[in-house]
Amino acid sequence: MAQILSSLPGTFYMKPAPDQDPYKVKGDSVEVGDTIALVEVMKTFVEIKAESAGTFARYVAEDGKPVTAGAVLAELED
Amino acid sequence: MNIDRLFIANRGEIAVRIVKAAKALGVTSIQAYSEADADMLAVREADEAVCVGPAAARESYLDIDGIVAAAKAAKADAVHPGYGFLAESASFARAVTEAGMIFVGPSAGTIERMGDKVAAREAAIAAGVPVVPGSKGRIDSIDAAAEVANEIGYPVMIKAAAGGGGKGIRIADTEAEFRKLAPQARAEAEAAFGDGGLYLERAVQKPRHIEVQIMGDGTRAVHFFERECSLQRRRQKVWEEAGATCLDDATRDKLCDSAVALARAVDYCGAGTLEYLYDSARNEFYFIEMNTRIQVEHPVTEMITGFDLVQEMIRVCGGDALSVTQDQITRSGHAIEVRLNAEDPMMQFMPFPGQVTSLKIPQGDGIRFDHFLYEGYQIPPFYDSLIGKLIVHGADRADAIARLSAALDDLEIGGLKTTAALHKALAGDPTVASGDFHTQWLEPWLDAGHLSKATGDA
């Protein structure tokens, strides 16, 4: 099971905007470079991209909550 | 003064600055902090500290009810909002006052009025303060519009009266061009807003950003001269000076007097700043907006005038009369402030919220460093990237730049990327030295790769 980690500390968001759907839902295919989430660091939004391909399993981090650098944000099924 | 217990509803360097002012006044400081800010410097230095909620600002520093309840529970008699967060929220000012405490700033009504661009422009016009020349309201016919454009003077900006979002905006350099572009702007406005009404405003070329520091006690108002903040990136000030050496004495007097006239007209209480665009080719200035709070760059004004603006704003909001008259406020020398942000200027200014592993602060006459750092401090990623401000005071502008260069060389903040590298490059740049820049100068300078050239990383 591949994990997608946060490269930065900040606030985690699974949606591009509050009124939109999450980037990925269970079963979605994930390509390398797909945006999986946003992390807001010092008022700047950084896109977190997948570094391996697979099928999206779940978000691990909680939407709108703090994450540390290296925290697991999401998991892919093998 | 009717303030004994001051609640500080802010964080970072300005919270440290307010704690310091409270101490000097013999006022007890009560510092608000979020769960992510428990070990920030202001919490360590304040007399008391109160947690006001989780890391997310909307649940802590921006939570009006929560902040007011925390201040009441801490038996505060006044609340200082700092800058940013709730500093210019009329609802917050009102809530603080209704809870029986003093808001260190102007009344909610004044914040509302000056925070509305149209109302502020009207107040300025009524007080005789120049604004960007524009049409009095919407214009419907192209012939009438061309007539107004000739009065305003070219280049003219054509906007949709119903506008917003840049839709319908055109800039015409001549009447012929105006007659070609205005119908297009009208058609676009009609399509976008269902209203083809136009609004005209002079397009100020190469504007310089100049602002005037004022202070009022509700009856009387004074100015503490002007600042220039034309070096900006993405509309954020990067480097600020006091005074503005591009102004001649007569223009400076007119500018500062106009700011006092507007402050008096609204019975202003507290510290405030009137922002202007300055058109150096025409030697004309135009009021654009007022900030009804203390500003990030207030230290340059303190350096050249010798007054403590944060103490003064606490005193006047606490009911004292202004401690000075206009003729007691004089200026000497030149001051520059540079904003140190936890960002990597070589990587598109990507935020870099690291841990401070070492800290060496430049010392000496005419050097000041306002910050909230200490060795071992982990900068939280949840807020603004401003970590400190290096301020220097010299005999004149060239001396101030030389002192800034030397002070930047002596400053060491280990463990972080900061914008110090940008400031070193700017301090050594011939255009900055000449003073011949404007608000749209820095971004093209960065795009042209001057920073990499200056630091040898290209």
Which residues does chain A have within 8 Å of residue B55's beta carbon, measured at their own beta carbons?
11, 66
Kindly provide the residue ranges of all beta strands, DSSP E only, lying in B139-253, ordered along the sequence: 156-160, 170-172, 198-202, 208-217, 221-233, 236-242
Q: Is B265 on the interface with A (CB under 8 A)?
A: no
CA-nearest residue of chain B to A7?
B352
Give pLDDT, residue B199: 86
Find which of B352, B382, B383, B417 to mutate to test the A interface (most A CBs within 10 Å of its CB): B382
Give pLDDT, residue B168: 66
CA distance B114 to chain A (A): 26
Q: Which domain holds residue A24?
A: 2-77
**Encoded tokens for B103:** 């808001």
CB B419 within 8 A of CB B339: yes
Cβ separation A42–B56 shorter than 8 A: no
Which residues does chain B have within 8 Å of residue A66's beta carbon, measured at their own beta carbons?
36, 55-56, 381-382
Under CATH, which architecture does the B5-104 domain have?
3-Layer(aba) Sandwich (3.40)
Give pLDDT, residue B66: 98
CA distance B350 to chain A (A): 8
Give pLDDT, residue B458: 40
Range B208-455 classified under CATH 3.30.470.20: yes
B35: DSSP letter: G
Q: Provide the 3-class DSSP secondary structure of residue A51.
A: coil
Based on its alpha-carbon atoms, the radius of gyration of chain B, rounded to whole angstroms, reads 23
**Packing angle of the helix pair B108-115, B117-126 (nearest 10 deg):** 100
A-facing residues of B in 33-52 (CB < 8 A) are: 36
Q: Distance (Å, rounded) from C-alpha B287 to C-alpha B261?
A: 12
Give pLDDT, residue B54: 96
Q: Provide the 3-class DSSP secondary structure of residue B48.
A: strand
The minimal CB distance from A11 to the residues B342, B343, B382 is found for B382
pLDDT tens for chain B, residues 1 to 458: 899 999 999 999 999 999 999 999 999 999 999 999 999 999 999 999 999 999 999 999 999 999 999 999 999 999 999 999 999 999 999 999 999 999 999 999 999 999 887 788 889 999 999 999 988 878 888 999 999 999 999 999 998 877 665 666 889 999 999 999 999 888 888 887 788 888 898 999 899 999 999 999 999 999 999 999 999 998 899 999 999 999 999 999 999 999 999 999 999 999 999 999 999 999 999 999 999 999 999 999 999 999 999 999 999 999 999 999 999 999 999 999 999 999 999 999 999 989 999 999 999 999 999 999 999 999 999 999 999 999 999 999 999 999 999 999 999 999 999 999 999 999 999 999 999 999 999 999 999 999 988 776 54
Where in chain B are the domains?
5-104, 142-202, 208-455
CATH number at residue A47: 2.40.50.100
Find which of B60, B234, B339, B350 to mutate to test the A interface (most A CBs within 10 Å of its CB): B350
Smallest CA-to-CA distance from B182 within B205, B199, B166 is with B199
What stretch of H or E contains A3?
Answer: strand A2-5
Smallest CA-to-CA distance from B452 within B421, B431, B427 is with B421
Choose between B136 and A71: higher pLDDT: A71
CA-nearest residue of chain B to A64?
B56
The 10s digit of each residue's pLDDT in A6-20 is 988 999 999 999 899
Cβ separation B383–A43 shorter than 8 A: yes
Q: Distance (Å, rounded) from C-alpha A37 to C-alpha A24?
A: 9
Number of domains in chain A: 1
Give pLDDT, residue B456: 64
CATH of domain B142-202: 3.30.1490.20
Q: Distance (Å, rounded) from C-alpha B304 to C-alpha B97?
A: 34
CB B129 within 8 A of CB B170: no
Catalytic residue among B11, B121, B170, B293: B293
Q: Catalytic annotation on B186?
A: no
Q: Is B78 on the interface with A (CB under 8 A)?
A: no
DSSP B76-134: -SEEE--SSTTTT-HHHHHHHHHTT-EESSS-HHHHHHHHSHHHHHHHHHHTT--B--B
